[in-house]
Structure 1
Amino acid sequence: MHPILFRIGNITIYSYGFMMVVGILSAILLTIYRAKKQGISEDVVMDIAIYGVIAGIIGAKLLFLIAEAPYIFKNPAVLKDMITGGFVVYGALIGGVLAAYIYCRIKKVDFLKMFDIAAPSIAIAQGFGRIGCLFAGCCYGRETTSPFGIVFKNSPFAPNGVKLIPTQIISSVGDFLIGFILLYFSTKTNKKGQVAGLYMILYSVGRFFVEFLRNDPRGNVLFLSTSQFICIFVFIIGIYVFNIDKLRRS
Structure 2
Amino acid sequence: MFNDIVIGPITIHMYGVMIAAGFLAALLMTLRRGKKRGYDEDIIWGIFFCAIIGGMLGTRILYYIVEIPEILKDPSILWDFKNGYVVYGGIIGGILASYIYCRTKKQAFMPYFDLVMPAVSFAQGFGRFGCFFAGCCYGRETDAWYGITFHNSSFAPNGVKLIPTQLISAAGDFIICALLLWFASKRPKTGRVAAAYLVLYGIGRFAVEFLRNDYRGSVGVLSTSQLISIGAVIGGIVLYFAAPKLAGVGNVAEEKSVG
TM-score by length of 1: 0.94
Contact 1:182 1:199 in 2 (8 A): yes
C-alpha displacement of 1:86 = 1.9
Equivalent residue letter for 2:169: S
Between the aligned partners of 2:174 and 2:233, the Cα distance in structure 1 is 19
Would the aligned equivalents of 1:128 and 1:172 in 2 still touch at CA under 8 Å? yes
Q: Is the 8 A contact 2:191 2:244 kept in 1?
A: no
> How many percent identity over aligned positions?
51
Supply the distance in 2 between the matched residues of 1:32 and 1:221 (Cα, whole angstroms): 39
Q: Indicate whether 1:91 and 2:89 are aligned.
A: yes
Contact 1:68 1:218 in 2 (8 A): no
Please state if 1:208 is matched with 2:206: yes
The separation in 2 between residues aligned to 1:34 and 1:6, in whole angstroms, is 37
225-234 or 168-177, which deviates more:
225-234
2:150 maps to a residue whose letter is: F
Which letter maps to 2:201?
Y
Query: Which residue is 2:40 aligned to?
Result: 41
Uncovered stretches (5+) of structure 1, i.e. residues with no partner: none
> Which position in structure 2 is the counterpart of 1:3?
3
For 1:77 and 1:118, the matched residues in 2 are separated by 36
Give the direction of change, closer, same or farther, for the CA distance of 1:7–1:109 in structure 2 (3 Å limit).
farther
Q: Secondary structure at the match of 1:49?
A: helix
2:253 corresponds to: none
State the alpha-carbon separation in 1 of the partners of residues 75 and 101 from structure 2. Answer: 36
Letter in 2 for 1:3: N
Work out whether residues 190 and 244 of structure 2, in 8 Å CA contact, stay in contact via their aligned partners in 1.
no
* Distance in 1 (alpha carbons) for counterparts of 2:42 and 2:31: 9
Deviation at 1:40, TM superposition (A): 1.2
Flag as ranges the 4+ runs of structure 1 deviating above 4 A: 245-249
Secondary structure, aligned partner of 1:6: strand
Deviations 1:197-231 (A, max 9, x none): 10100000000010111001111122211111111
Unaligned runs of 5+ in 2: 248-259
Contact 2:5 / 2:12 at 8 angstroms: preserved in 1? yes
SS at match of 1:2: coil
User: What is the letter of the counterpart of residue 178 of structure 2?
Assistant: F
**Preserved CA contact (<8 Å) 2:199 2:232:** yes
Question: What do residues 27-66 of structure 1 show as CA deviations (whole Å, max 9, x unaligned)?
Answer: 0110111111222122111111111101100110111121
Aligned partner (choices 123, 126, 129) of residue 128 of structure 1: 126
Counterpart AA for 1:126? Q
Larger proportion of helix: 1
- Does residue 166 of the first structure (1) align with residue 164 of the second (2)? yes
CA contact (8 A) 2:110 2:243 kept: no
Looking at structure 2, the residues matched to 213 and 99 of structure 1 have their Cα atoms a distance apart, in angstroms, of 31
SS at match of 1:243: helix
- Corresponding position: 1:13 with 2:42: no
Query: 2:185 — aligned with what?
Result: 187
Count of residue pairs the alignment pairs up: 247
Preserved CA contact (<8 Å) 1:192 1:244:
no
2:254 corresponds in structure 1 to none
Which of these residues, 174, 177, 187, is aligned with residue 176 of structure 1? 174
CA distance in 1, matches of 2:179, 2:72: 43
* Cα distance between partner residues in 2 of 1:210 and 1:220: 15
Which 10-residue stretch deviates more, 138-147 or 62-71? Answer: 62-71
Q: Which moved more, 1:112-121 or 1:182-191?
A: 182-191
RMSD: 1.6
Letter aligned with residue 6 of structure 2:
F
**TM-score (norm: length of structure 2):** 0.91
Q: Find 1:141's aligned residue among 139, 142, 150.
A: 139
Amino acid corresponding to residue 54 of structure 1 in structure 2: I
Alpha-carbon distance between aligned partners in 1 of 2:151 and 2:78, rounded to the nearest angstrom: 27
Report the 3-state secondary structure (helix = DSSP H, G, I; strand = E; otherwise coil) of the residue aligned with 1:213.
Answer: coil
Distance 1:62 1:94 in 2: 11
CA deviation profile, 1:102-129 (whole Å, cap 9, x unmatched): 0111112121100111110000000000
> In the alignment, which residue of structure 2 is the partner of 1:106?
104
